[in-house]
Amino acid sequence: MAELPEAGVAGPLAVHVEGFQRELSGLGFSPRTARDHGYVLAQLSRWVAAEGISLDQLTEPVLARYVQARRRKGYRRWRSRRSLRLLVGYLRRAGAIPLTGLEQDDPLGMLLDAYRRYLVTERCLAPSTVRARMDVARRFLGPRVTSSGLDLESLAARDVTGFLLTQARLRTAGTVKAMTSPLRCLLRFLFVAGLVPRDLSGAVLAAASPRLASLPRAAGSATVAALLASCDRGRPAGRRDFAILTLQARLGLRAGEVAALRLDDIDWRAGTVVIRGKGRRIDQLPLPPDAGEALASYLRHGRPASGCRAVFLRACAPGGPMSGHCVAMVSRSASRRAGLPVVGAHRLRHYAATEMLRRGASLRQVAEVLRHHSEDTTAIYAKVDRAALGLVVHPWPGAQR
């Protein structure tokens, strides 16, 4: 791998060149990508030296200043906080810079950090759900930052409704509806933590949503066949994607559930698989033969050699298990290859449910496979057979006039 010579890096980060290059190589990055990240290290090191900043002062606000300085100078690449992610992570693990970027004079950052810990440890929420709730928290609390700190004492119901009304003018009804539950969660946390004098979660009005008003948007059989056919099963990544799409279409697995699969979860003799679902729910489902064959093909001929116990691994650096977001992108990428409109992972879940109903399964059986906490959630699939519904739906009185 091409290395960045330590002599070519000025400033206090020069001593970390070798270790950073070694970590990039271990993560499986290509020489070109390693050179790019070495360039990031060199630029940050020179800036730190020019600004007279010590490494123990390299916190989040200072990193934000560095990013802004690059933008002002007209750089078109490596000018976002995300571009520093690998470098900053390495330096923090090496103990070269502070482990956390939260400052005592950053009350919003400290509160959000406490809220994140609450969501992860107390609520046991999935990473994607935590990210969504943190985003709503930032939007709601950001305007309450003042020169004297974070103003929560004066928070009232009118502020909650005003925030939702403002969002309603800027966003779609579906987006605003998705914000109501995270906002209630935040307000309950603020009350339980003693940061506000009253529980304001009741001030979050429910968005209009007629129950069972629409049909589930399931992918058709031809669409699923096209998605599967788009996978190049002669390549490791193609075998992996084919196995993922097959599991989603046959068992209705969520993206996070696919990502959570472990090698020990598959019982090949019994033909079952353990699914770790929402709310830390664990279920055992039968493994369909075609899904089992796709999994076996990937594990034998496509999965990279790794000590990681996750079933599905990333095909590019950094190596490691796929996240739920990566799994969700599999069907989107397959849609693009097949020349189809975007088919999301949840539409494959709907496809699995509708196929079970067409083959004679009951709603109770569908609820068990989809692992719904309540059969009321499964009730929407009672409407998928339009032909059968047409036999029981009577004409509207006076419609023939």
Annotated catalytic residue 381: yes
Whether residue 66 lies in the annotated active site: no
3-state secondary structure of 264: helix
d(CA 314, CA 66): 31
Count the neighbouring beta carbons within 10 Å of the beta carbon of residue 236: 16
Of the listed 66, 118, 351, 381, which one is catalytic?
381
- How far is 354 from 44, CA to CA, in rounded Å? 54
Active site residue 278: yes
Catalytic option among 346, 347, 350, 371: 346
Catalytic residue among 46, 123, 188, 372: 372
Q: Is 124 exposed, middle or buried (0-12, 13-18, 19+ CB in 10 A)?
A: exposed
Alpha-carbon distance 78 to 86, whole Å? Answer: 12
- Residue 350 CB neighbour total at 10 angstroms: 20
DSSP 185-240: HHHHHHHHTTSSSS--GGGSPPPP--TT-S---PPPHHHHHHHHHTS-TTSHHHHH
Contact 45, 8 (CB under 8 A): no
Catalytic residue among 233, 240, 254, 347, which? 254
Give the angle 210-161-195 at the CA atoms, nearest 5°.
120
Phi/psi of residue 320, nearest 5 degrees: 140, -175
Catalytic residue among 144, 177, 278, 337: 278
Tokens in use for 257? 């559930």
- Structural contact between residues 378 and 212, judged by C-beta atoms closer than 8 angstroms: no
Provide the CA 275 distance to its chain's centre, in angstroms.
Answer: 18
Active-site annotation holder among 349, 350, 351, 371:
349
Evaluate whether 380 touches 363 at the Cβ level (below 8 Å): no
346 assigned to active site: yes
Is 372 part of the annotated catalytic residue set?
yes
The catalytic site residues sit at 254, 278, 346, 349, 372, 381
